[in-house]
Amino acid sequence: MINLELPRKLKAQANQAHQVAAEIFRPISRKYDLAEHEYPVELNTMAAMVEGMTDAGGDIGGAAGGRDKNSEDAPKPSKTANANGGNMSALVNVIETCWGDVGLTLSIPYQGLGNSAIAAVATDAQLERFGKVWASMAITEPSFGSDSAAVTATATLDGDEWVLNGEKIYVTAGERSTHVVVWASVDKSKGRAAIKSFVVPRDTPGMTVARLEHKLGIKASDTAALLFENCRIPKDNLLGSADVNTDKGFAGVMQTFDNTRPLVAGMAIGVARAALEELRTILTDAGVDISYDAPSNSQSAAASEYIRLESDWEAAYLLALRAAWMADNKEPNSLQASMSKAKAGRTATDVTLKAVELAGTFGYSERLLLEKWSRDSKILDIFEGTQQIQQLIVARRVLGKSSAELK
């Protein structure tokens, strides 16, 4: 059974993350929304703090959730025990920081989405090498979006080095990170099974930033297009095994999403909660009475709509908790990770846009952050797999269909 009461350790970490969100993120949120591509220098002071918390077994931003240090030596949780490890810690923390600002959360040093890829599939030796880097993740290409199996970038083994060629777009923290986790094919003739992930240090010759994207939201976060032209990296920078197993497919690299999708769900949950709290204040000040003791259809339209939004938020929150809990308890969570991502992404866009609508002129103006949150939330329903992709994955898992059988 899942224990839905957060333990004291996680509560303490969540409280610390909330203080970061309230005292650092919220005050500068509008500043960096208006100054796209300008690096948030205020985050420099957090780098040492994040590293200290990581050494202590936690993290502030949460994007680096995944395998705990020494997890291979730790006993597997018993069927009656509840383990709350790196995934659950990352989830509750990212909910709090995204309550402050999603773009700034994605800009926290050493907490990139690529760190989750490293945690998911790296060997113990690779964890020692890359455990404390700031890694972004490069998957999407100009020819595809959510179909990760359509990777065209290549990696060719030349002696003791891999040679990477290709183009990646929409790489979150692609300019600022110290390393990039790149998805590329080692043998195109073998299809998706040959897709592997590689760790590329920022200063590697042959990797360049082609441009930075101008975006609808999360403007505090840099989003880059990267070019790889005969980019050479050491042979052991390939994460996990180099063997191509056509029976297994590319389940190894896809395991990354089992870690990151609940975290993206947490980001959506955080910004949606911020909008709900702001909306509740506005409605209360306007004299709208919201009662949980009376049927929603007997209350005002605004109160009824608020209750609907809040119930959707609660469902998204519980789904994300379940997906993270399953990961920490060594249970396969691919279905639950996609369910949480689909529900939270859809809920966040619904909540934030409806908050703008119900708040009237306050919602549409820049006097409050409601309009910004509505812009920031949309990406959370897109990256790490769109709403449609998540529903397709859920359908395959529920119906027992392969990707070839259900497209």
Q: From CA 73, how far away is CA 76, in angstroms rounded?
A: 9
Q: How many beta carbons lie within 10 A of that of residue 338, not counting itself?
A: 27
Distance in angstroms (rounded) separating the CA atoms of residues 106 and 391: 25
CA distance 286 to 213: 40
Q: What is the 3-state secondary structure (H, E, C) of 125-145?
A: HHHHHHCCCCEEEECCECCEC
Rounded CA-CA distance 376/136 in Å is 19
Query: Do 20 and 98 form a contact (C-beta atoms < 8 A)?
Result: no
Which one is catalytic: 128, 357, 384, 405? Answer: 384
Give me the DSSP letters along 265-298.
Answer: HHHHHHHHHHHHHHHHHHHHHTT----SSS-GGG
By the 8 A CB rule, do 21 and 102 touch? no
Q: Which residues pair with 201 in a beta bridge?
A: 179
Going by C-alpha positions, the residue among 218, 122, 124, 131 that lies closest to residue 179 is: 131
Supply φ then ψ for residue 334, to 5 degrees. -60, -45
Query: Do 340 and 320 meet the contact criterion of CB atoms below 8 Å apart?
Result: yes
Conformation bin of residue 174: beta by default, left when phi > 0, alpha when psi is -120 to 50: alpha
Where would I find the beta strands (DSSP E) of 148-220? 154-158, 161-172, 179-185, 195-201, 207-212
384 is catalytic: yes
Cα distances (Å, whole numbers) of residue 260 to 163, 253, 380: 27, 12, 12
Contacts 24+ apart (CB under 8 A), 241-245: 242/157, 242/186, 242/196, 244/186, 244/187, 244/190, 244/193, 244/194, 245/193
What residues pair up with 166 in beta bridges, in sequence order?
Answer: 228
N-to-C CA span, the chain: 34
Catalytic positions: 384
